[in-house]
Structure 1
Amino acid sequence: MSTPYTWQKSSFSGGGEGNACVELASTPVALHLRESDAPGTVLTTTPAPVGHLLQAIRTGTVTQPRR
């Protein structure tokens, strides 16, 4: 039996109980992301790729995906 995650809303969601935000839950080994209007779809990753993405956003070095 799995333990339910504790979801936190993005600070950019505008607060309240609206369904237009990104939510995050973390465990010791993974990060889980979902949209509040589609809570059944969860993206799970590890902290390292998220850190690289945030660093690229901060430095303006985000590139288009390879095709």
Structure 2
Amino acid sequence: MKWRKSTYSDGGEGDTCVEVATLPARIAVRDSKAPARATLSFPAPAFAALVERLKSGGSRSPRM
């Protein structure tokens, strides 16, 4: 799996980096400060929706 720093990570002190990796049909996410710890993975469409929501400034949970 090839990890890359997310373009949405804050450039500040280098302490808010998120890394992403593309898997078949999923996107994996991890904290670059602790790469050996837990990794999250999301179905690709769900991750794309999350990124779009964050880009639009939305932080509220969608209504269910």
Aligned length: 59
- 31, 34, 38: which one aligns with 1:38: 34
TM-score, normalized by length of structure 2?
Answer: 0.66
Aligned with 1:41: secondary structure? coil
Quick one: which amino acid aligns to residue 20 of structure 2?
A: L
Q: Residues 62, 24 of structure 1: CA spacing in aligned structure 2 closer, same or farther, 3 A cutoff?
A: same
**Following TM superposition, by how much is the alpha carbon of 1:59 offset from its aligned partner in structure 2, in angstroms?**
3.1
Q: Which runs of 5+ in 1 are unaligned?
A: none
Q: Which runs of 5+ in 2 are unaligned?
A: none
- Indicate the residue corresponding to 1:50 in structure 2: 47
Structure with higher Rg: it is: 1
Q: Residues 13, 7 of structure 1: CA spacing in aligned structure 2 closer, same or farther, 3 A cutoff?
A: farther
